Structure 1
């Protein structure tokens, strides 16, 4: 039996991320975040206060032995372990992600489990890996019985959400998002590139990357966690603004301009200021080799430009509704 493949032999990395608001009335401090994400007794939670409060659980491993998703219908069985982890940003936004790397070829028969456990987060195919077909199969979504990284990320999310620290009283309404990603090798001499970023239905996003040899699946997962976090922030603030009757409306003279709408608008938008607007810090925790991929997102679709425009709309509306109140207070002051 040939020896286990090394990290340099990986020709495909893929994963899936779940992002949602933590269901608590107040953001968790660092001590509470460590309690929430203390998923393994033998390893400590990673905690950081710069550039923002951040906590990440140790990796959890899930053993798998199943067919891989494939866009062309190829049946490729694979065995190994999937790495999964949970992270909390500013005690407010919860993410769970699952990811794997796959070598170009694997053995013709299954190895003892001990050989898979020494290579966490690696899944080996039986024989040759049809990497393009599997990458697209992952992005299209697993079918019954196939390797389903989203299912593993969902299972970890469910486990974290059952923690007794959570009072199930979120300060605002929001929708969870899902992000699937697949990274294939770049051409020799080329740097990392973002081939495709797609907003699909039902809050699903898909990302297809090309990366040079030697970049780990864990670093790629960190990039995609960061992308998923900022996409969720954009999506959530867009939904908060969507459907709100913005701008002062005509109202009875005794109430003053816009008075009838002011409480609803302020109630709807203030949580964005209190809980979300300070979270925008793209590529703060992305490896140096992958940070250039954010430049592509800043050019098109222009993540930060859209975020700044949304933030300005929120602040303008809150200021607009505050001005009539200030005028009336001045008029009533003797």
Structure 2
């Protein structure tokens, strides 16, 4: 057999993330988090207590052999493995993430499976990869039968949510979100850039990036996990405030306001730390989101609004509704 040739550099990386509230009445401590995310007996769960409690499962691999999504309708078959992991932030927010890298070209015929397994997280096209068209296809949503890393993230989420540690009694109602991302090569000599962040329908967000050659799939996944986490936090707190009856005319609903907003204080407000777990090479990609739409500015305004409302409703009604003197 001819010797195995080296794989060309990746010209596209893509992934998808699911983010949701852990369905448990109490946040899990670090030991319970390790039990929840112990997906493989041969590898330990990554645990961290700084800057906050964080647990990350070992990577799992899923073999794929299917066409790639493509905006121009091209049917490019690809074979390889998709990497996935689950993570828990402060014992409260659960994420599952699946991603892969694709080289610019591959062999004309399928290789033996063993050659794909030694390159985890690489999905190799048969022939040349039209990476721009595939990136558009990924972000636009795969057709039935195409490579769909979101299904892999979904499957891992379902597996984790069935764990007996979870009592299925979350402290408040929330919706999961999906973040789909694609990263293409940056121009020679240029640094990473965030080309587009889009809020789509059905809780979907899409992110298109440019990154220098040599940026690893793990680095990109860490960045996009972080974006997905903070987008979910913003989305969830906005929905808590949406529809609340506030103001003097809603005094009789004071109890409802406190019941609705207190979970944000108990479970969410301390989680805001954008970029805390992102590598230095990609940390600057948070800057465009801080400038416009201004993630942290919006978060700080929401936090202040929640605290103001809770303070206001802690004041006895007799003092809160003083009529001006004639």
- Structure 1 regions of 5+ residues with no counterpart? 251-257, 329-334
Name 1:172's counterpart in structure 2: 172
Alignment of 1:323-334 (within 5 A): 323-324=315-316, 327=319
In the alignment, the residues of structure 1 paired with residue 142 and residue 134 of structure 2 have an alpha-carbon distance, to the nearest angstrom, of 10
- Aligned to 1:174, the other structure's residue is in SS state coil
The 1:211–1:267 alpha-carbon spacing in structure 2 relative to 1, beyond 3 Å, is same
Deviation at 1:248, TM superposition (A): 2.8
Name 1:331's counterpart in structure 2: none
In the alignment, the residues of structure 1 paired with residue 266 and residue 226 of structure 2 have an alpha-carbon distance, to the nearest angstrom, of 21
Name 2:60's counterpart in structure 1: 60
TM-score, with normalisation over the residues of structure 1?
A: 0.94
In the alignment, the residues of structure 1 paired with residue 197 and residue 5 of structure 2 have an alpha-carbon distance, to the nearest angstrom, of 33
Query: 1:281 pairs with 257, 273, 283, which one?
Result: 273
Whether the 8 Å contact between 1:248 and 1:321 is mirrored in structure 2 is no
- Aligned to 2:98, the other structure's residue is in SS state strand
Name 1:99's counterpart in structure 2: 99
Query: 1:262 pairs with 238, 246, 254, which one?
Result: 254
Alignment partner of 1:50 is 2:50:
yes
Deviation at 1:247, TM superposition (A): 2.1
TM-score, with normalisation over the residues of structure 2?
A: 0.96
In the alignment, the residues of structure 2 paired with residue 167 and residue 72 of structure 1 have an alpha-carbon distance, to the nearest angstrom, of 46
Whether the 8 Å contact between 1:5 and 1:103 is mirrored in structure 2 is no
Whether the 8 Å contact between 1:248 and 1:261 is mirrored in structure 2 is no
Deviation at 1:3, TM superposition (A): 3.4
Name 1:230's counterpart in structure 2: 230
What are the Cα deviations for residues 238-287 of structure 1, in whole angstroms up to 9, with x where unaligned?
0000000012326xxxxxxx2x1111000000000000000000000001
- Aligned to 1:249, the other structure's residue is in SS state helix
Deviation at 1:2, TM superposition (A): 7.3
What are the Cα deviations for residues 21-41 of structure 1, in whole angstroms up to 9, with x where unaligned?
000000000000000000000
Whether the 8 Å contact between 1:20 and 1:175 is mirrored in structure 2 is yes
Whether the 8 Å contact between 1:106 and 1:126 is mirrored in structure 2 is yes
In the alignment, the residues of structure 1 paired with residue 83 and residue 123 of structure 2 have an alpha-carbon distance, to the nearest angstrom, of 10
Name 2:32's counterpart in structure 1: 32
- Aligned to 1:290, the other structure's residue is in SS state helix
Query: 1:319 pairs with 299, 311, 316, which one?
Result: 311
What are the Cα deviations for residues 159-178 of structure 1, in whole angstroms up to 9, with x where unaligned?
00000000000001100000
- Aligned to 2:61, the other structure's residue is in SS state strand
Alignment of 1:281-320 (within 5 A): 281-320=273-312
In the alignment, the residues of structure 2 paired with residue 152 and residue 300 of structure 1 have an alpha-carbon distance, to the nearest angstrom, of 32
Deviation at 1:327, TM superposition (A): 5.0
Deviation at 1:49, TM superposition (A): 0.1
- Structure 2 regions of 5+ residues with no counterpart? 321-326
In the alignment, the residues of structure 2 paired with residue 300 and residue 70 of structure 1 have an alpha-carbon distance, to the nearest angstrom, of 30
Name 1:153's counterpart in structure 2: 153
In the alignment, the residues of structure 1 paired with residue 177 and residue 308 of structure 2 have an alpha-carbon distance, to the nearest angstrom, of 27
In the alignment, the residues of structure 1 paired with residue 129 and residue 93 of structure 2 have an alpha-carbon distance, to the nearest angstrom, of 36
- Aligned to 1:209, the other structure's residue is in SS state strand
Name 1:255's counterpart in structure 2: none
In the alignment, the residues of structure 1 paired with residue 318 and residue 42 of structure 2 have an alpha-carbon distance, to the nearest angstrom, of 57
In the alignment, the residues of structure 2 paired with residue 85 and residue 37 of structure 1 have an alpha-carbon distance, to the nearest angstrom, of 9
What are the Cα deviations for residues 63-103 of structure 1, in whole angstroms up to 9, with x where unaligned?
00000000100000000000000000000000001000000
Name 2:4's counterpart in structure 1: 3
Alignment partner of 1:271 is 2:263:
yes
What are the Cα deviations for residues 269-307 of structure 1, in whole angstroms up to 9, with x where unaligned?
000000000000000000110000001110111000000
